[in-house]
Amino acid sequence: MNELETGGGGFKLSRRLSTLAEWVPEGARFADIGTDHALLPVFLARSGKITYAVAGDVHAGPVEAAKRQVAEAGLEDVVSVRLGDGMSVLSPGEVDTVAIAGMGGSLMVRILEQSGERLKGVETLILSPHVAEEAVRRWLVQHQYILEQEMLLEEEGIIYTLLRAIRMSDAGEFRSRHSNLYNEGLLAPKIRKMSAVWLYEMGPHLLRNPTRAFHVKWEEEIAKRERVIAQLSYSSTSGAAEKAREWEEDVREIREVLSCLPAEKPSSN
């Protein structure tokens, strides 16, 4: 996917990165982890929305490309480009907003888990995992970040998941908001027995306001699981039949959830 479209004397971001940019608070001290070409921090710095940025990437090639992008924009005093793994490029308290996009949820959780003191002072997390979103939502809950926004954005045939979470300093307020957000009772009675799992898998905000993209995403997930089931049916390895039954139960539950949801709303994406 082309994240950058050039035009005139500047550039504009892809719709996915544009949405992530909209979610960054005004005046933020911002870090983009896995920055690639530093498109997001450069865009935000040029617009004046952020006061400072760190653009980090684990690969030397993207770091060099990011440095060129920053230099061409004349933003070396605002955007610091750094080579390093995950949030190791940051110092504790250096930024208050972190974006991580374009990777799987398991890797994203590893980066967050290994950040240690570097998460100190980070009030806003803007995340876009392309798989294993459930793992990311659970990490947020475990570390007292409340999921304020989530959306599915379809672009060039790909459906992206976008999450925005805010750290809650008051434990009591966090528990109250979390209880309301992940409230199984708000879902249809028919699926409450399974909803604890699917609230994390599918997303509490997304389940309450299912769009066309939501239904497309989960029909695609059903198709993936059915392909796995078909492959397992030809396997003679130990445990294949049991695994197939587990995947079949997954498919049954997903269909059950989808059938109980409100009629889909037109996607705003």
Which is nearest to 73 in space by CA: 55, 59, 85?
Answer: 55
DSSP reduced 3-state for 228? helix
- Provide block-wise average pLDDT over 10 residues at a time, the chain (269 residues): 44 89 98 94 96 97 96 97 96 97 96 95 97 96 97 94 96 93 73 73 92 95 95 87 92 88 60
pLDDT at 193: 59
Instruction: Name the residue ranges covered by the structural domains of the chain.
Output: 4-181, 185-260
Distance separating alpha carbons of residues 54 and 233, to the nearest angstrom:
49
Task: Give me the torsion for CA of 21, 107, 209, 265, rounded to 10°.
Answer: 70
Contact between 54 and 90 (Cβ < 8 Å)? yes
Q: Do domains 4-181 and 185-260 have the same CATH topology?
A: no
- Per CATH, the number for 185-260 is 1.10.287.1890
Which SS3 state, helix, strand or coil, does residue 60 take? helix
Residue 4's DSSP bridge partners are 13
Is residue 204 classed as helix, strand or coil in its secondary structure?
Answer: helix
Of 93, 94, 92, 87, the C-alpha closest to 109 is 87
Model pLDDT, residue 111: 97
pLDDT, position 212: 93
**Helical ranges in 126-170 per DSSP H:** 133-142
CATH of 4-181, one of 3.40.50.150, 3.40.50.720, 3.40.50.300, 3.40.50.2000: 3.40.50.150
**pLDDT for the residue numbered 15:** 92
- Per-residue pLDDT, 8: 33
Q: Which residues contact 222 (CB under 8 A, 6 or more apart)?
A: 251, 254, 255
What's the order of all strands across the beta sheet hosting 158-167?
79-83, 50-57, 28-33, 97-103, 124-129, 158-167, 145-155
pLDDT of residue 9: 41
Q: Distance (Å, rounded) from C-alpha 97 to C-alpha 81?
A: 16
- pTM attached to this predicted model: 0.90
- The pair of structure tokens assigned to 60 is 């030397």
| Max CA distance (Å), the chain | 61
